[in-house]
Chain A
Amino acid sequence: MTEATPLIAVSDLAMQFARRHPLSERIAGKPQQIVHALNGVSFTVRRGETLGIVGESGCGKSTLARCLVRLNTPSAGSVTYAGTDVLKLEGAARRNYHRRVQMVFQDPYSSLNPRMTVRQTLAEAIKFHGLRRGAAIGTRIAELLDLVRLPSDAGERYPHEFSGGQRQRIGIARALAVEPECLIADELVSALDVSVQAQIVNLLLELQERLHLTVLFIAHDLRLVRHISHRVAVMYLGKIVELAETEQLFSRPAHPYTAALLKAAPELDPGRRSTVDAVRGELPSPIAIPSGCPFHPRCPYVFDRCRVELPLLTPRSETQFAACHLDSLPRVN
C-alpha cells in the first residue's frame, strides 16, 4: 500500500476467545476450546476514505471493530492511529483517542440508555470530553439534532419514542457530539427497512463530506458496501481474503470467496437468474479452522496446495490484493 501516512494502520491483529471449560470436560481430558475470531488482519485506512468491510456472520468483522475502539483487547498485533500505538494508550491520551474514533452500533435501541433523554445522552458525551460549557452545550445539541435532521424537540424525548431510523440518527448524533475524525459503523442500517435505510445512507454520505470523516463501514450487504465504500475488504474466518478498490473488487474479484459472495447476493434483475448454488457447504467453525486456505473446503478451484499452505495477501495490481494460490480466477459462467 503506497500512501505515506495512513490514518489507521492495523497489522497482524489476532483475537482469540477461550470458551468455558467445564469440569466435566476437564475430567474427560478434553482440551479447552478456543474461538479464533481474528487471525492476522492487516490493512490501512487513509484519511477521508470509506473502507467497507464485508463478510458473513462469524467472519470477525465486529470483533475487528471492537478491537479498533479497544472494547476488546486483541491477543496479538498492533493498531496505530496517526502514528501512535493505540493499544498502549492510557489515561488522557486514551480518552482523546476515544474522542477521535467513534463507533456507531447496529442496534441503537440497546446501545442508547433508555432512561436518558436524547439531550442527556448528547450532553454527557460533550461534558465528558470537556468540549463545551454551560449554555454552549445547549447550542451544540441543537446543532447536532439539526445535523442529523431530527426535529428540535427531539432532545426532550426518550429513545423508545423514536422509530428505528430516527434512533439510528440519535446514535450518529451521539457519535458526532464529540467531534470525531473517524466513524466506525458496525451494521449501521441492517436493522432498518429499505426505504429508511436509504435515508440513513444519504445522511452518512453527506456528513462524511461536510465533516471530512474517515469511515469504516462494516456490513454484510454487498450492494450497500459497494455504494458507500472507496475500498472494500472481504473477510472470511478472521482473515482478509481480498482488499481492493470497490469497482475492481466488484467487477473483477480475485478471490473465489469474493466471487461466490457476489454470485450469491440476489440481483435486482428478474431477467438474470441462476439455478446453481453460488457456493457449496457452510461456514466452518472458528474453533476448528481448516488447514491451509480456510476457504478450501468450499472452493470450486481447490487443488493440493490449498489444503496445506496458507495463501498470503499478495498484490494482484497496485490497488488489488488477494489471498489465493491462483494468480487469476478461471472465467466461468
Chain B
Amino acid sequence: MNAIQTARVETGALLSVRDLRVTFGSTRGALTAVDGVDLDVRPGEVLGIAGESGSGKSVTLRAILGLIHAPGLVDGQVFWRGRDLRTLPQRQLRKVRGGEIGIIFQEPMTALNPVLTVGMQILENLKEHTQLDAAGRRKRATELLDLVGIPAAQSRLNDYPHQFSGGMRQRAMIAIALASNPKLLLADEPTTALDVTIQDQILKLILRLRSEMNMSVVLVTHDLGVIAQTCDRLAVMYAGRVVETGPVTALFKEPRHAYTLGLLNSVPRADLARQPLSSISGQPPLLFQLPPGCAFAPRCRFMTQGCTEAKPPLVEVATDHRSACIHHDKVAQAKP
C-alpha cells in the first residue's frame, strides 16, 4: 500500500507530502505523532487541516519545514516544487523555509522576539530573503505593515511586540511571514487565541492576501466553522493519520468517515436548542497505545470486526474525495 502511495505524486501540486512519519521516544514507549500522512497543496488554494488536540496536525506542519528536532524522528518525503525538502542541505532548506514558505503560529507573543522591535523582525526577514538595499527594506517593511492593516505603520515599526494587542501581533507576524513573498503560507491555529470579531478580521485578511499575493495557504485549526468559512479543501486528521480528505463543500455535505460525521454532529446547531448533542463517546486514544486497525474504531458507532483487523487505507470514494473508513457508504447515508 505504502509503495503505491509513495509513487503517486499529484501533478501540478505545489507541495506534496508522502508517507510522512514523526515519532518521539517517551518513557512509556515510542509515540507516533504522525503516521503516514499524504497531503497535496495546489497552487492558490487554501487547504485546511482539522483535528482535535493530539491528532498530529501541528507536528505535520512542523515536519514539513524540518522543524522537528531530536529526539523526534522524521521519515517520508516532502516535495516542494519537485525537490524533496527532507534531503535538501541546510543552507538550501533555509532559503525555502521563511522564504518560499512562510509560517505563522498560534501564539504571536511567544513566536515573536520580545526584545526586538516589530520593524527589526520584518527587516531581518527582508535581509535574509530579498535583494533590497537598506532603504528599500525600510520602505517595504512599512508597506507590509500597511498591507496587513496596521494603522500608522511607519511609527509602529519602532514598537515592541508587547505594545501590540493580540490581533495586531498576529497581523505583525503575518507581515513578517509575507516579507519574502512566499508562495505558500503555513498557518498553525492562527486565530485560536483571538476573540471572534478579531478572528473574523484575521481570516479575511489571510484570504485577501492569498489572492493579492497569489499564494497557497495551509490552515491548521480545530474549529470546523473556520474551515467552512475559509478553506477550499480539507484534510481531517485523527491519531496521526489523515482519515478523510476532499473539497470542503463535499465533506460538510456528505462526510465519508465516521469521525468527520461525529465531529460535525458534535457542533451545536441552531434548530435543536437544549437537545442532547450527538457526541462521540469516549476519548481520543493515547498515541503510544493505539488500538490495532482503525484508531477511531473503539469510539465508532459503525464499528465492525473488519475495522480492528488492519489500518484502513485512504481510498478514493468520490471525485477528489478520499476516506479511510471501510464503512464510508453507510456513513454517507447517515448525513449530518
Chain A interface residues toward B at CB < 8 A: 56-57, 163, 165-166, 193-199, 201-202, 205-206, 220, 222-224, 226-228, 246-247, 250, 260-261, 263-271, 273, 275-280, 282-283
- Tell me the smallest distance from the CB of A105 to a CB of chain B, in Å: 19
Partner-contacting stretch, out of B59-67, B118-126, B270-278: B270-278
Pair A195/B268 contact, Cβ less than 8 Å: no
Residue numbers in B under 8 Å from A278 (CB-CB):
197, 200-201
Residue numbers in A under 8 Å from B230 (CB-CB):
266
Partner-contacting stretch, out of B3-11, B105-113, B221-229: B221-229
The answer to whether A279 and B197 touch (CB under 8 A), given A165-B283, A194-B52, is yes
Pair B225/A265 contact, Cβ less than 8 Å: yes
Assembled-state Cα–Cα distance A292/B321 (Å): 53
User: Which of A57, A193, A275: most chain B Cβ within 10 A?
Assistant: A193
Residue numbers in A under 8 Å from B269 (CB-CB):
223, 227, 268
**Nearest-neighbor residue (CB-CB) of B268 within chain A:** A227
Pair B268/A193 contact, Cβ less than 8 Å: no
The answer to whether A193 and B53 touch (CB under 8 A), given A205-B276, A266-B223, A267-B225, is yes
A interface footprint on B308-328 (CB within 8 Å = 1, 0 otherwise): 000000000000000000000
23 A–B contacts, CB within 8 A, in A order: A193-B53, A193-B284, A194-B52, A194-B222, A194-B266, A195-B266, A195-B280, A195-B284, A198-B266, A198-B278, A202-B277, A206-B276, A220-B195, A223-B269, A227-B268, A261-B197, A265-B196, A265-B225, A268-B228, A270-B252, A276-B204, A282-B165, A283-B195
The answer to whether A250 and B266 touch (CB under 8 A), given A220-B195, A227-B277, is no
Assembled-state Cα–Cα distance A276/B267 (Å): 25
Is B167 an interface position by the 8 A CB rule? yes
Is B263 an interface position by the 8 A CB rule? yes
- Tell me the smallest distance from the CB of B296 to a CB of chain A, in Å: 10
Assembled-state Cα–Cα distance A37/B199 (Å): 23
Pair A223/B267 contact, Cβ less than 8 Å: yes
Assembled-state Cα–Cα distance A110/B273 (Å): 31
Chain B residues 263 to 308 lying within 8 A of chain A, measured CB to CB, are: 263-270, 272-274, 276-281, 283-284
Assembled-state Cα–Cα distance A278/B199 (Å): 10
The answer to whether A201 and B198 touch (CB under 8 A), given A193-B284, A194-B222, is no
Residues of B within 8 Å of A, CB-based: how many? 49
Assembled-state Cα–Cα distance A57/B193 (Å): 10
Pair A202/B204 contact, Cβ less than 8 Å: no
Pair B52/A269 contact, Cβ less than 8 Å: no
**Nearest-neighbor residue (CB-CB) of A200 within chain B:** B279
Residue numbers in A under 8 Å from B201 (CB-CB):
277-278, 280
Chain B residues 226 to 275 lying within 8 A of chain A, measured CB to CB, are: 226-231, 248-249, 252, 262-270, 272-274
Chain B interface residues toward A at CB < 8 A: 52-53, 165, 167-168, 195-201, 203-204, 207-208, 222-231, 248-249, 252, 262-270, 272-274, 276-281, 283-284
Residue numbers in B under 8 Å from A57 (CB-CB):
195
- Interface contacts beyond A264-B200, A266-B226: sample of 18 additional A-B pairs, CB < 8 Å, sorted by A: A56-B195, A57-B195, A193-B284, A195-B266, A198-B277, A198-B280, A199-B281, A202-B276, A206-B276, A224-B268, A227-B269, A263-B200, A264-B196, A264-B197, A268-B252, A269-B228, A275-B204, A277-B201
Residue numbers in A under 8 Å from B248 (CB-CB):
270
The answer to whether A247 and B273 touch (CB under 8 A), given A195-B263, A271-B249, is yes
Q: Tell me the dominant secondary structure on chain B's binding face.
A: helix
Residue numbers in B under 8 Å from A193 (CB-CB):
52-53, 222, 284
Residue numbers in B under 8 Å from A266 (CB-CB):
199-200, 203, 223, 225-226, 228-230
**Nearest-neighbor residue (CB-CB) of A59 within chain B:** B195
- Tell me the smallest distance from the CB of A206 to a CB of chain B, in Å: 7
Counting from the closest, the 7 A-B pairs by CB-CB distance are A266-B225, A198-B279, A227-B268, A264-B200, A56-B195, A193-B52, A195-B280
Assembled-state Cα–Cα distance A271/B229 (Å): 8
**Nearest-neighbor residue (CB-CB) of B167 within chain A:** A282
User: Which of A166, A201, A263, A264: most chain B Cβ within 10 A?
Assistant: A264
Pair A196/B273 contact, Cβ less than 8 Å: no
**Nearest-neighbor residue (CB-CB) of A202 within chain B:** B276
The answer to whether A261 and B277 touch (CB under 8 A), given A194-B267, A266-B225, A270-B229, is no
Assembled-state Cα–Cα distance A273/B249 (Å): 12
Pair B200/A277 contact, Cβ less than 8 Å: yes
Pair A163/B283 contact, Cβ less than 8 Å: yes
